[in-house]
Amino acid sequence: MTFETITALAVFAFVSSATPGPNNLMLMASGANFGFWRTIPHMLGISIGFMVMLFCVGAGLVQIFDRFPLIYDVLKVASVIYMLWLAWNIANAAPVRKAEAAGTPMTFLQAAGFQWVNPKAWAMALTAITVYVGDASLLWLSAAALLFAVVNLPSVTIWTLAGQQLQRILTNPRRLRAYNWTMAALLIASLYPLLGL
């Protein structure tokens, strides 16, 4: 692959990773509710989970979906149900000082698994494969997946830190509740492209 292709993929990875979506909204909420350090497994789960997903899709998984279109519908329903459940958990997250007793941040495996039902992650993966990777070798596919993970780490860090900084403002339980419900509503709103309403 050419330097121009690598640069274009890096820019696409940065823009698509940095813009609001389910992962970033959940990281911001987690940073606000649990702090930066407790959210690190969630952050790593997103970066590494998406890297694995991108590799699997590029290595041929998408052909299985093309052969069995019903899988898309099942994935769509699972995505909606899971994201509604996550939105409910965000809306009802405990204040930071009660977080240890009342809730926990998303784990590494939960965050990695979430990539498979995240509509934005699917859109990013399919675009990256069709536009930038194509029929390239597994070595280039591996490099592209690794590039996405490396570019994604600063983005997830910024969103988590932004949430953590909100802890100063969200000291009042009423403000924290309003923030959590707003983040939950935004997470549900991110389903709009998936539902095609």
What pLDDT is recorded for position 82?
A: 78
pTM over cut 0.85: no
Average pLDDT over residues 15-41: 91
Buried b (16+ CB within 10 A) or exposed e, 15-24: ebbbeebbbb
Residue 48's closest CA among 148, 143, 138, 163? 148
> Would you tell me how many other CB atoms lie within 10 Å of the CB of residue 193?
10
Residue type, 53: M
Helices (H), the chain: 3-18, 22-34, 36-56, 62-67, 70-91, 99-102, 108-114, 119-127, 138-165, 173-189, 192-195
Which tens digit of pLDDT belongs to each residue from 88-101?
877 887 665 544 54
Considering only CA atoms, which of 75, 31, 73 is closest in space to residue 169? 31
pLDDT value at position 101?
47
Q: What is the CA radius of gyration of the chain?
A: 17
Q: Which of 37-41, 91-95, 165-169, 172-176 has the lowest mean pLDDT?
A: 91-95
Q: Residues 137-144: what's their mean pLDDT?
A: 88
pLDDT of residue 102: 57
pLDDT mean over 147-152: 94
